[in-house]
């Protein structure tokens, strides 16, 4: 499962407009948190040379997705990427979970800190997963 990507041409004001002039800069949203740069380079590299790429993590920590800025080698390459990828589901490696002891000292305690879970993970699913360890 993945998220539907929304891709548009980026401009200095970063406003979404239907009459926006195509550029070689793209704004991509709807990416799973922790999407690796390499995954995006691979996906967008199918449509041209990736000049620059920056994943934008959410500022508030409440969002379950992130965005990215992607600059391709030409306007034509960017147009091809938008046409092919807008509204598609990003498939690729899911970020690995990070599990460590909770607390400042990271000493063994009965609590664990787990990061990298899908936003829709339910407590019973997590319990079932750890019960197999």
- Mean model confidence pLDDT for the chain: 75
* pTM reported for the whole predicted model: 0.61
Whether 62 and 19 map to the same domain: the answer is yes
Distance from C-alpha of 80 to C-alpha of 47, rounded to nearest angstrom: 6
pLDDT at 97 over 60: no
How are the residues of the chain apportioned to helix, strand and coil, as percentages rounded to the nearest 5?
A: 20, 30, 50
For residues 51 and 47, what is the distance between their CA atoms, to the nearest angstrom? 12
pLDDT at site 71? 93
Question: In this predicted structure, what is the pLDDT of residue 14?
Answer: 46
The fraction of the chain above a pLDDT of 90, given in percent, is 23
Note whether 126 and 64 are same-domain residues.
Answer: no
pLDDT of residue 70: 93
The pLDDT tens digits for 78-93 are 999 998 998 888 775 5
- pLDDT number for residue 113: 63
pLDDT tens-place string over residues 24-64: 999 998 888 878 888 899 999 999 999 999 988 887 766 77
pLDDT-based confidence at residue 111 (cuts at 50, 70, 90): low
Cα 57 to Cα 89: distance, rounded to the nearest angstrom: 19
Half-sphere exposure of 55 (CA within 13 A, CB side): 15
Question: Is 92 among the domain residues?
Answer: no
109 and 45 in a single domain? The answer is no
Question: Average pLDDT, stretch 63-73?
Answer: 86
d(CA 61, CA 132): 30
In a domain, residue 123? The reply is yes
Q: How many CB atoms lie under 10 A from the CB of residue 8?
A: 19
Alpha-helical regions (H) of the chain: 37-45, 75-85, 123-131
Q: Which domain holds residue 103?
A: 98-131
Q: How many domains does the chain have?
A: 2
Same domain, 122 and 60: no
């Amino acid at each position: 499962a993945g998220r539907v990507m929304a891709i548009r041409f980026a401009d200095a004001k970063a406003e979404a407009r239907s009459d926006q002039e195509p550029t070689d800069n793209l704004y991509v949203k709807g990416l799973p948190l922790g999407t690796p740069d390499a995954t995006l380079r691979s996906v967008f590299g199918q449509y041209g040379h990736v000049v620059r790429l920056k994943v934008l993590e959410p500022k508030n920590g409440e969002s379950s997705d992130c965005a990215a800025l992607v600059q391709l080698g030409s306007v034509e390459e960017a147009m091809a990427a938008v046409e092919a990828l807008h509204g598609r589901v990003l498939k690729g490696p899911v970020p690995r979970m990070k599990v460590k002891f909770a607390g400042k000292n990271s000493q063994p305690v009965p609590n664990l800190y787990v990061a990298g879970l899908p936003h829709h993970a339910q407590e019973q699913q997590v319990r079932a997963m750890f019960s197999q360890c």
